[in-house]
Amino acid sequence: MNDLIEARLTQVTERVARAAERVGRSPEDVQILPVTKGHSKSAIESVLSLGLNCVGENRVPEAEAKQTELDNTSGLSWHLIGRLQRNKARRAVRLFDVIESVDSLRLAETLSRIVEEEDHEPIETLVQVNPSREVSKAGSSPEETVSLVHTICHLSGLRVTGLMTMAPFGADETVLRNVFSKTYELLRRCRDEIPGFEGRVLSMGMSSDFEIAVEEGSTRVRLGTVILGER
Ligand SMILES: *Cc1c(COP(=O)(O)O)cnc(C)c1O
């Protein structure tokens, strides 16, 4: 299994690099976040043994179970990439190093308050945006994103480092490019319009669309199936 995962990872790394080079970007500017949701703890062990230092999980209870089962996850950065209900916010603060799916002020305020109560260092956060306005997708609307990021930047428990988006599944290339380029543009506006904000992380691209996302400026691709196989 490890060999298979290693072979897939090599291929994917190569595809990311080629996509970056097509648009004159450096491959080193794109981080691969292996998404281990729906896979057992051995997937995480493989990821660790291949020298990767981060994993993405979309559900709090699943991440909690895996952290309990794993002997040693030192050096591993846990990213929450799925929708977070406020009643699980405290567990999320304890379990995750990065929360990529903050999409409302209410959730941000809850997280910040908990970080303070727990005497936790400020937690790294991305604001999730939904430029395609797909009703089924979480995320702030393009109109509200800049002011939402601005407000969240003032919460002492959170450290906003950028934006995250999820493109509509199976959409054609034009739609995908539009979603990714709008997200890129929103992050640029955040930097221009929010004093002191220097966030540069753009978490966008999944197994089916990551090369397009890289061409449109992604700095972090969240990859499950292409590395770990079907769930
Ligand atoms: C599941 C998931 C991914 C990875 O999906 P694949 O298509 O398997 O690469 C990326 N981002 C989010 C938010 C997800 O929920």
Q: What is the pLDDT along the chain (231 residues), one digit of tens a residue?
A: 789 999 999 999 999 999 999 999 999 999 999 999 999 999 999 999 999 999 999 999 999 999 999 988 778 999 999 999 999 999 999 999 999 999 999 999 999 999 999 999 999 999 999 998 777 778 999 999 999 999 999 999 999 999 999 999 889 999 999 999 999 999 999 999 999 999 999 999 999 999 999 999 999 999 999 999 999
pLDDT value, residue 137: 76
Residue 207, ligand 1, Cβ within 6 A? yes
Q: In angstroms, what is the span from residue 156 Cα to ligand 1's centroid?
A: 29
Question: At a CB cut-off of 8 Å and minimum separation 6, what does 73 contact?
Answer: 44, 48, 67
Question: At a CB cut-off of 8 Å and minimum separation 6, what does 100 contact?
Answer: 56, 79, 80, 81, 125, 126, 128, 164, 203
Question: How long a stretch of residues is the chain?
Answer: 231
Question: At a CB cut-off of 8 Å and minimum separation 6, what does 215 contact?
Answer: 19, 22, 23, 177
Token readout for 208 is 């089916």
Q: Where are the domains of the chain?
A: 2-228
User: Which residue carries 């999944």 as its tokens?
Assistant: 206
pLDDT value, residue 92: 98
Q: In angstroms, what is the span from residue 207 Cα to ligand 1's centroid?
A: 7
pLDDT value, residue 223: 98
Full-prediction pTM beyond 0.95? yes
CATH for 2-228 (3.30.450.40, 3.20.20.10, 1.10.10.60, 3.40.50.1000): 3.20.20.10
Token readout for 180 is 């990714």
pLDDT value, residue 138: 87
pLDDT value, residue 159: 98
Q: Which atom of ligand 1 is nearest to the CA of 207?
A: 9
Q: Name the strands in the sheet holding 220-223, side by side, starting at the edge strand that comes first in the sequence.
A: 31-34, 220-223, 201-203, 158-165, 123-129, 98-102, 77-80, 54-57
